[in-house]
Structure 1
């Protein structure tokens, strides 16, 4: 049986972990998930995949910003031909498709990463967790709740992964992560802002309306870059903290994805 605190494999008859000394029965019942017989699994590979995906997202955002500037320059001229407008719309549609596909793929891997890293918390000895891995995922899909719950889930993962808090309860004393906070604020701005933008500028077909829409979209595209960079820092920071905490518990080398 694996010790859910340090990941050490013990004999089926063992009452205490031979590495960390925790009672097997006690160590296995933690958090919301009941008994954890599997060892700690590092999310390093998932973090690498997400880093690559986020970098692709940033590249697409930069291209979108350049196109926004081209359109603004075009619309600011004295004459705009229908051919130029159609060409710009076609290019914008193509970039929008790339952005949508990148968003879907990145979201899938991000949710897998959330499930993995939150599932690691009990195996790192964290107790009294507020959420389960399944609830952490479900919170992203419940209307209005998903404006707050994902932030709380990621904060819980960050705090409970603190390598300085090796007992089961003191992780609650870990301060909130500012990088998680700023990431979530920018995320909400990126979600709510375009909705406001559609209401304000989406109904007009005049050149002035399209120009206002493009300026607003440019602002949100620019804000997407620091948001994505913060997402990379959050993902890599949590994985680093979890691996360090696992090492501090003197467990075996973490299993890769």
Structure 2
């Protein structure tokens, strides 16, 4: 029979728990205060989520995943508008660098500044809202992953949020947590490739670095030529962030679907024991 606590391994002969759960003091990641395994299928054949489910830390990530995907789409849309604002600003700065002057160029410069400021505010609001919901989703899928695979995680669940804010370690902790959650959420019989996770994380790091460099360069710029060069960097960062948001949407929706499918598939069936003569 399957262990009645973790429902991941075969119970020890004559008992209801597996060896790992029996030796709880040697396996601190497994215990009654930590996530339990997916509930066994009900009459309809699928595990239940939500308040009506048996006591368990497994919670559906579907609603949060969709919310994150929508917000990432809003981020991409604000970035697209920001690209237009960047191009408008570059046009004005280029004309100023060529020696254009007068009331017409001043009016165009004022309008470009207003558009630039408005799109920057819209980007910041959309980004902050997305960060909050993403972190809630990321923590949930990390906890769910611990239910699927109690021993396959190199980082504590608190790092699913804290790992994004601690300098230096935020360069690899979130990816490590994502990889562990991805592996734990993969189908029982066929692990999924890490290609999408690696692509998302690579684009996130590059886009974040370019965005910070462009912002600093724009803040330091004083002449028209310096502003022109800084705006080009910001334009590249905004365009690159659209691609990053697209990959992030794919990552979020794919991992959400993997966890939902795995939860609905029920506990892993134990491997058949070889028949001896």
Q: Distance in 2 between matches of 1:177 and 1:72?
A: 39
Aligned counterpart, 1:191: 208
The answer as to whether partners of 1:5 and 1:125 remain within 8 angstroms in 2 is no
Q: Say whether residues 1:143 and 2:138 are aligned partners.
A: no
Counterpart for residue 112 of structure 2: 88
Secondary structure at 2:59 match in 1? coil
Match of residue 242, structure 2, among 225, 248, 255:
225
Match for residue 118 of structure 1?
142
Aligned to 2:188: 164
Count of residue pairs brought into register by the alignment: 230
Q: In structure 2, what is the equivalent of residue 169 of structure 1?
A: none
Instruction: Tell me the TM-score normalised to structure 1 length.
Output: 0.79
Tell me if the contact between 2:218 and 2:231 (Cα under 8 Å) persists in the aligned partners.
no
Are 2:77 and 1:59 equivalent residues in the alignment? yes
Change (3 A) 1:235 1:145: same
| Structure 2: distance between partners of 1:165 and 1:101 | 42
Q: Give, in angstroms, the shift of residue 53 of structure 1.
A: 0.4
Contact 1:4–1:39 (CA<8 Å) still a contact in 2?
A: no
Partner in structure 2 of residue 132 of structure 1: 156
User: Structure 1 residues 93 and 148, CA, compared in 2 at 3 Å: closer, same or farther?
Assistant: same
- Aligned-residue Cα RMSD (Å) equals 2.8
Q: Per the alignment, do residues 28 and 69 of structure 1 end up closer, same or farther by CA in structure 2, a change over 3 Å counting?
A: farther
Q: What residue in structure 1 maps to residue 21 of structure 2?
A: 26
CA contact (8 A) 2:163 2:170 kept: yes
SS at match of 2:158: helix
Instruction: Find out whether 1:100 has 2:134 as its counterpart.
Output: no
User: Which of residues 14, 32, 41 in structure 1 aligns to 2:59?
Assistant: 41
Distance in 2 between residues matched to 1:134 and 1:235, nearest whole Å:
19
| Runs of 4+ deviating beyond 6 Å | 27-31
Q: Does 1:215 align with 2:210?
A: no
CA contact (8 A) 1:33 1:132 kept: no
Aligned to 1:203: 220
Deviation string, structure 1 residues 74-104 (Cα, Å, up to 9, x no partner): 2223425333222211221111111111111
Rate the CA distance shift 1:5–1:132 in 2: closer, same or farther, 3 A: farther
